[in-house]
Amino acid sequence: MLNEGIEHGLTEADNLWQKDKMEEACGVFGIYAPGKDVARLTYYALYALQHRGQESAGIGVTEGNGIKIHKAMGLVSEVFTEQIISGLKGDIGIGHVRYSTMGSNLAVNSEPLVCHYLKGDLAVAHNGNVINAQELKKKLAANGAVFQSTIDSELIANLIARYAQDTLEEALTKTMIDLKGSYALVIMTEDKLVGVRDPYGNRPLCLGKLDNAYLLASESCAFDVLGAEFIRDVAPGEIVIIDRQGVHSHQFLSSVERALCAFEFVYFARPDSNIDGINVMEARRNMGRELAKESPVDVDIVIPVPDSGIAGALGYAEARNIFYDMGLMKNRYIGRTFIGPQQKDRDLAVHLKLNPVKRLIEGKKVGIVDDSIVRGTTSKRIVQLLREKGAKEVHMLITSPPVIAPCYYGIDTSERAQLIAAQKSLDEVRAYINADSLSYLSMEGLYRALGQECGFCTACLSENYPLGLPVGGKLGKHITEISTPKRKEVR
Ligand code: AMP
């Protein structure tokens, strides 16, 4: 483990925290808006998408003559200054926030990726995971291609460049047919903005409008921030090209069944977003309501794990007419805090981040609601906190089915060995987190909450992988970089 930390330029203390931190999907954004301050608009949109990735942030712009880019490790607020944003002049812009999934957390892996090919500059921002990336890279490498990073965007740029003799639409079509797996892409050339969603529609991507400008974003909440209008979701297997003539759509594949990530609704997406016609807040609240029907546990008060459990807890409490309150206070001003490696430091960090309201908890049978249990770390700590504050009983209510399998499609839900529900029975998990009872939502309950049974990827909950399993070796896994050790956020 220490070696791994050294390889990534992290200290042992960072590693301790990294092991505790789940990783999540990325956020992508694009804007075609001659005459507008595209960098600033992209900057605000990235703020709205920050929940999708906190590892690195980047913005690329073009005025038609090359692409200018600024990207670095850190939060949007840390990466950009007024001076940087004012220096990024352009008519088209793309942005990315990243949390490392398959690639490691190196600056070289931050996005958008910019390269120069036959037709000029090209920038690529990706959310998802290409499962045949290693196989494709090996083929390209056999013909002399070199790779500087481990990100799929570099592979995608390489493929587009290989087909550069074709029109952009043909080159993109050929590239997408080569790729297997999950991708929501925003691509920029010197005169075009492109959005692509994989044939299964695994990751979200939507199209919006702001006056005469067109926008692409992982989630509709980015449009709301800019006062833009949501037009529609990009369809699975669709390439959208935006240029001076407007929006052109091309369906490159449409015969497969849709498999939108159900975990976007459980945890990742922001509650104020709508994805493929489903409002995230409403879906989460429904999950709580369904759990209330399935597991009507005898409790005096329902409290959420902030913030991910709030919608589910509201749904659970209202369905059963039980008193709901914010019994756990979250400190929102922690940011990036130095945390020592000792167990006592880690215990302190938990108290720093979350503190139960003793008056609400003491002597009560508490129903505590969270959206998911992955490794069990969060639940265990929270049950302990509630008991310390005098809860008489603690009942853990989880508004999703157990996470039993790794995700290979862009969300690093760890290795199977780290997924507590893959390793232990329900009662063993309950005992591990030290709760009086533990209830999960059923798969049927999840589908009822989402309003439909078909069209979702539930790989992490069902072990059914609709997009297939990853293929190929590990080319490029061992690139190292000397970088400033980066402290992990307290979660
Ligand atoms: P764990 O402590 O490993 O059981 O993780 C469960 C907690 O992390 C819950 O509070 C979830 O809301 C949250 N969570 C679930 N999936 C992820 C993810 N991919 N990235 C970050 N947090 C997550």
b/e for 282-304, b at 16 or more Cβ within 10 A?
A: bbbbbbbbbbbeebebebbbbbb
Range 146-150 average pLDDT: 90
Nearest CA to ligand 1 atom 3: 375
Q: What is the pLDDT of residue 339?
A: 63
User: CA 352, 356, 360 angle in degrees (round to 5)?
Assistant: 160
In a domain, 2, yes or no: no
Check whether residue 196 and residue 98 sit in a common domain.
yes
| Cα of 438 from ligand 1 centre, angstroms | 16
Angle between helical axes of 280-294 and 310-320 (0-180°, round to 10): 50
Instruction: Identify the CATH number of the domain in which residue 229 sits.
Output: 3.60.20.10
Count structural domains, the chain.
Answer: 2
The finding on whether 377 has its CB within 6 A of some atom of ligand 1 is yes
| 2 confidence band (pLDDT: 50, 70, 90) | very low
Other beta carbons within 10 angstroms of residue 397's beta carbon come to 28
In a domain, 478, yes or no: no
| Cα of 449 from ligand 1 centre, angstroms | 20
Q: Under a CB-based contact definition with an 8 Å cutoff, are residues 265 and 284 in contact?
A: yes
The finding on whether 267 has its CB within 6 A of some atom of ligand 1 is yes
In a domain, 96, yes or no: yes
Q: How far apart are CA 64 and CA 58, in angstroms?
A: 19
pLDDT: which is higher, 25 or 192: 192
Q: Which of 100, 203, 267 to mutate to test the pocket of ligand 1 (most atoms within 8 A of CB)?
A: 267
In a domain, 315, yes or no: yes
Q: What is the pLDDT of residue 491?
A: 34
Check whether residue 186 and residue 329 sit in a common domain.
no
Check whether residue 74 and residue 155 sit in a common domain.
yes
Range 255-273 average pLDDT: 94
| Cα of 99 from ligand 1 centre, angstroms | 14
Strands annotated E in 218-309 = 229-233, 238-243, 246-251, 260-261, 274-275, 278-279, 301-304
Other beta carbons within 10 angstroms of residue 218's beta carbon come to 32
Check whether residue 376 and residue 308 sit in a common domain.
yes
Range 305-311 average pLDDT: 94
User: CA 125, 130, 135 angle in degrees (round to 5)?
Assistant: 125
Q: What is the pLDDT of residues 207-260, one digit of tens each?
A: 999 999 999 999 999 999 999 999 999 999 999 999 999 999 999 987 788 999
What is each CA distance from 429 to 313, 413, 424, 485, 491, in whole angstroms? 21, 17, 6, 34, 21
Q: What is the pLDDT of residues 344-401, one digit of tens each?
A: 776 777 778 889 999 999 999 999 999 999 999 999 999 999 999 999 999 999 999 9
Nearest CA to ligand 1 atom 11: 372
Point out the least confidently predicted range of 48-52, 183-187, 314-318, 486-490.
486-490
The finding on whether 306 has its CB within 6 A of some atom of ligand 1 is no
Percent of the chain at pLDDT > 70 equals: 87
Instruction: Identify the CATH number of the domain in which residue 382 sits.
Output: 3.40.50.2020
Question: Does pLDDT of 475 surpass 90?
Answer: no
| Domain end residue (candidates: 229, 259, 289) | 259
Q: With left for phi above 0 and alpha for psi between -120 and 50, is residue 472 left, alpha or beta? A: left
Q: What is the pLDDT of residue 353?
A: 86
Calculate the CA 32 to chain-centre distance: 24
Nearest CA to ligand 1 atom 23: 22
In a domain, 340, yes or no: yes
| Cα of 207 from ligand 1 centre, angstroms | 29
One-letter amino acid of 177: I
Q: What is the pLDDT of residue 246?
A: 96
pLDDT: which is higher, 469 or 337: 469
Question: Does pLDDT of 416 surpass 60?
Answer: yes
Which atom belonging to ligand 1 lies closest to the Cα atom of 411? 19
Check whether residue 215 and residue 309 sit in a common domain.
no
| pTM given for the model | 0.90
Q: What is the pLDDT of residue 256?
A: 83
| 59 confidence band (pLDDT: 50, 70, 90) | very high
The finding on whether 411 has its CB within 6 A of some atom of ligand 1 is yes
Question: Active site residue: 26, 407, 457, 460, which one?
Answer: 26
The finding on whether 371 has its CB within 6 A of some atom of ligand 1 is yes
Check whether residue 417 and residue 331 sit in a common domain.
yes
Check whether residue 152 and residue 232 sit in a common domain.
yes
The finding on whether 24 has its CB within 6 A of some atom of ligand 1 is yes
Sign of CA dihedral 439, 444, 449, 455: positive
Structure tokens at 368: 């505590």
In a domain, 491, yes or no: no
Q: Under a CB-based contact definition with an 8 Å cutoff, are residues 376 and 168 in contact?
A: no
Nearest to 169 by CA among 143, 199, 201, 195: 195
Nearest CA to ligand 1 atom 12: 308
C-alpha torsion 381→383→388→392, nearest 10? 180
Which atom belonging to ligand 1 lies closest to the Cα atom of 371? 12
| Cα of 382 from ligand 1 centre, angstroms | 13
Q: What are phi and psi of 49, to 5 degrees?
A: -105, 5
Check whether residue 73 and residue 121 sit in a common domain.
yes
- Specify the pairing of strand 437-440 against strand 393-398: parallel
Question: Does pLDDT of 467 surpass 60?
Answer: yes
Question: Does pLDDT of 473 surpass 80?
Answer: no
In a domain, 273, yes or no: no
Check whether residue 69 and residue 164 sit in a common domain.
yes
Q: What is the pLDDT of residue 341?
A: 67
Check whether residue 152 and residue 17 sit in a common domain.
yes
Q: What is the pLDDT of residue 349?
A: 77
3-class state of residue 60 by DSSP: strand
The finding on whether 54 has its CB within 6 A of some atom of ligand 1 is no
| Cα of 466 from ligand 1 centre, angstroms | 23
Q: How far apart are CA 409 and CA 181, in angstroms?
A: 6
DSSP element (H, E) containing 368? strand 365-370
Q: What is the pLDDT of residue 413?
A: 67
Range 198-211 average pLDDT: 97
User: Which range marks the domain in which residue 249 is found?
Assistant: 12-259
Whether residue 26 lies in the annotated active site: yes
Check whether residue 243 and residue 347 sit in a common domain.
no
Nearest to 122 by CA among 173, 172, 76: 172
Q: How far apart are CA 292 and CA 386, in angstroms?
A: 21
| Domain end residue (candidates: 201, 226, 259) | 259
Nearest CA to ligand 1 atom 17: 22
In a domain, 128, yes or no: yes
Q: What is the pLDDT of residue 337?
A: 60
| Cα of 18 from ligand 1 centre, angstroms | 13
Q: How far apart are CA 363 and CA 235, in angstroms?
A: 52
DSSP element (H, E) containing 186? strand 181-188
Check whether residue 203 and residue 313 sit in a common domain.
no
